[in-house]
Structure 1
């Protein structure tokens, strides 16, 4: 006697029970990853360490608390990681908008120079070698030519006429 495989009936009964399920949805749409906690840690321990920076630290922490953004970026003057501004980043629209500090109101893809990620274990920023901004980035620099306020050259004394 040959028996028909028993698992064929299991598949059809399992399929119908899934279709009849009316409980809570088990799949949850992924939400945008936020770096708010990481940035609070970075501002506290790395960007503004010590009592001398207490006022600047307070202002930046207030801006982060006030903002509804999920992702924040710090603008550094250069690879020396000196704070210049706090930005919000919206990955959907790729908009980078200044919240506080000194720097351009908006930053676009052509303005970025270097990217950094905050390491909460070693409490420091390390450079990430990439060409484009992603949600894994926590800080950046812009091209040196974009910084305004370059000192103008004064004429040299040898070119000045002596007035007697």
Structure 2
């Protein structure tokens, strides 16, 4: 009888001690990094895995991109899509100071000014698709964007530019 009685008393004491005021603040090692509400890394990761680069054929490209994102100190990533068909082209980070997008990896211009962005998209995890946002303002809620077609036509060096003949 005695041990059980003590056990109950200890339990009662422990229970009372766990009221928020008496709990010492946990100062041990952080077991997980608290997700910053400003980071969309997880969303981009999902978009790549389930939509842009889904399946075995894209696995090595997807893994390489995720690796680049992990190495980056940025917390907000943007996917450059080829056009409204949402084909993946590159990952960019937004420079909050200069309002410029810088290519982290993939195919696309090295830097894009935010004013050159044509359309912006939010990734919907449950529907596994990108939805166009009505604005053109890059914010933390934007996950992907497209650029005007002429930005894709990189100038080939050495060939003279053809002048369009008026009709």
Report the TM-score, using the length of structure 2 for normalisation.
0.67
Ranges in structure 1 where 5+ consecutive residues have no aligned partner: 1-30, 153-164
Segments of 4+ moved more than 3 angstroms: 90-93, 149-152
Ranges in structure 2 where 5+ consecutive residues have no aligned partner: 1-35, 160-167
Residue among 29, 37, 44 paired with 2:49:
44
How many pairs were matched up? Answer: 123
In structure 1, the residue matched to 2:115 is: 110
Report the TM-score, using the length of structure 1 for normalisation.
0.68
Map of 1:125-136 to 2, 5 A cutoff? 125-136=130-141
Q: Deviations over 1:18-67 (max 9, x none)?
A: xxxxxxxxxxxxx7611011111111111101111111111111111111
In structure 2, the residue matched to 1:162 is: none
Residue among 63, 66, 79 paired with 1:74:
79
Answering whether residue 69 of structure 2 is matched by residue 64 of structure 1, we say: yes
Bigger Cα Rg: 1
Map of 1:79-98 to 2, 5 A cutoff? 79-98=84-103
RMSD: 2.2
- Give the stretch that moved more between structures: 90-99 or 59-68: 90-99
Structure 1 residue 95 displacement after superposition: 3.0
